[in-house]
């Protein structure tokens, strides 16, 4: 559910009320049922919300939205559109519980509504965002944030376009020091693996330069020669079709036109601005490197319009569709589970 003071509950109700979602998956909301009920009363009064005490109570009739609350009840008292530590704590608890459910195989994927980073911090949770929490809960060190635009009016490639980021939620000043050949190569590998997961058999990955004009042969910086080029060479040697480093301003335009399937960006805004400019409502945030599937719409909590009935669900719908696509691909391509040893179990 994300931050209950934001637009998350509204977009969840709109999305789960869309008949297409039932063709893709069986949705379960992790959050407070009273909050979800208020959101339904605001925009979809006919929707039936069914509270669950545990996941063992989960059923999936088509005319209801099941809602499991693994946290306390404080979130129900949070006012709309305001920063509140109780909302930050609840968003964290919802995310951790959903992640554990996915790790345990109780659910096939997790799609997150937006949380507010300041609310997290006010609750004493010093995380920059979803990505870092997910990585910690899943126990992984190699991970990346990616924005994914499916094929459509702006993306001619049949497999869409993924843009993954070598550094995440950090200051621009700190980016050069956080880059290393291993970090860049790791992002390239995660990106190529994801594109394979959506059916792109031989993904073409392009890598952004850090500096303007790719450093102009060292005139504007040497990160291209010292850090990025060695990573591109290593990725290419491993069998990934990799090109770069290329100036980001023209590279993103070429990728959108279909020349590349994936782009490794050096920092957050380098990739985010271009993709959000052309496909804000359809861009899906995907966390790479996790043992579970996690997607999210690319918008934030939007406190300025929260609980006014204005929030649209296009981003959440696309995030649910991509999560379902990835879950289906994983089922079809995962090795069969070993048969149980009935004698030992008995």
pLDDT for position 344: 28
Instruction: State whether residue 301 is helix, strand or coil.
Output: coil
Tokens of 320: 């649910």
- The model's pLDDT over 61-120, given as tens digits with 9 standing for 90+, comes to 677 899 999 999 999 999 999 999 999 999 999 999 999 999 999 999 999 999 999 999
Report the predicted TM-score, pTM, of the whole model to 2 decimal places. 0.86
Tokens of 90: 């609840």
CATH hierarchy code of domain 1-139+290-332 = 3.40.718.10
What's the number of CA atoms in the CB half-sphere (13 Å) around residue 164?
Answer: 29
Tally of CB atoms within 10 A around 2 = 28
CA distances from 103 to 93, 96, 135, 223, 225 (A): 15, 10, 12, 38, 40
- The model's pLDDT over 305-324, given as tens digits with 9 standing for 90+, comes to 999 999 999 999 999 999 99
> Radius of gyration of the chain from Cα atoms?
21
Q: How far apart are CA 248 and CA 211, in angstroms?
A: 8
Tokens of 301: 């909590």
Tokens of 178: 């956080």
Helices (H), 123-219: 130-138, 175-178, 181-197
Question: What's the sign of the alpha-carbon dihedral 304, 306, 308, 314?
Answer: positive
pLDDT for position 17: 93
pLDDT less than 70: residues of the chain = 60-61, 334-346
Give all strands of the β-sheet with 64-68 in edge-to-edge order: 29-30, 64-68, 48-52
pLDDT for position 335: 56
- Which CATH homologous superfamily contains domain 141-289? Isopropylmalate Dehydrogenase (3.40.718.10)
**Helix (H), strand (E) at residue 159:** none
Backbone torsions φ then ψ of 148, nearest 5 degrees: -125, 125
By CB neighbour count within 10 A (0-12 exposed, 13-18 middle, 19+ buried), where does 96 fall? middle
CA dihedral 208, 213, 218, 222 (to 10 degrees): -20
pLDDT for position 189: 96
Q: How far apart are CA 111 and CA 98, in angstroms?
A: 9
Longest dimension (CA), the chain: 71
CATH 3.40.718.10 in the chain, residue ranges? 1-139+290-332, 141-289
């Amino acid at each position: 559910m994300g931050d209950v003071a934001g637009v998350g509950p509204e977009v969840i109700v709109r999305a789960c009320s869309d008949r297409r979602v039932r063709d893709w998956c069986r949705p379960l909301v992790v959050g407070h049922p009273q909050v979800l009920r208020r959101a339904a009363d605001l925009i979809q009064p006919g929707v039936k919300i069914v509270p669950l005490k545990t996941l063992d109570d989960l059923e999936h009739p088509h005319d209801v939205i099941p809602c499991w609350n693994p946290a306390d009840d404080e979130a129900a008292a949070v006012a709309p559109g305001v920063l509140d530590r109780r909302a930050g704590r609840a968003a964290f608890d919802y995310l951790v519980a959903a992640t554990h459910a996915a790790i345990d195989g109780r659910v096939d994927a997790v799609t997150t509504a937006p949380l507010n980073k300041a609310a997290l911090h006010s609750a004493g949770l010093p995380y920059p965002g979803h990505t870092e929490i997910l990585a910690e809960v899943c126990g992984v060190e190699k991970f990346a944030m990616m924005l994914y635009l499916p094929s459509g009016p702006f993306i001619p490639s049949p497999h869409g376009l993924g843009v993954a980021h070598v550094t995440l939620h950090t200051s621009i000043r700190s980016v050069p020091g956080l880059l290393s050949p291993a970090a860049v190569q790791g992002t390239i590998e995660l990106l190529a693996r994801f594109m394979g997961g959506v059916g792109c058999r031989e993904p073409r990955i392009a890598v952004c330069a850090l500096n303007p004009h790719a450093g102009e042969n060292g005139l504007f910086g040497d990160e291209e020669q010292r850090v990025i080029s060695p990573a591109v060479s290593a990725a290419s040697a491993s069998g990934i079709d990799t090109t770069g480093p290329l100036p980001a301003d023209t590279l993103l335009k070429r990728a959108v036109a279909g020349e590349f399937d994936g782009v490794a960006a050096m920092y957050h805004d380098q990739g985010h601005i271009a993709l959000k400019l052309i496909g804000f409502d359809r861009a899906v945030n995907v966390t790479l490197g996790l043992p579970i599937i996690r997607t999210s719409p690319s918008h934030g909590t939007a406190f300025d319009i929260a609980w006014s009935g204005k929030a649209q669900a296009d981003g959440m719908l696309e995030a649910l569709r991509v999560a379902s696509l990835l879950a289906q691909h994983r089922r079809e391509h995962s090795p069969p589970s070993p048969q149980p040893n009935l004698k030992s179990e008995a």
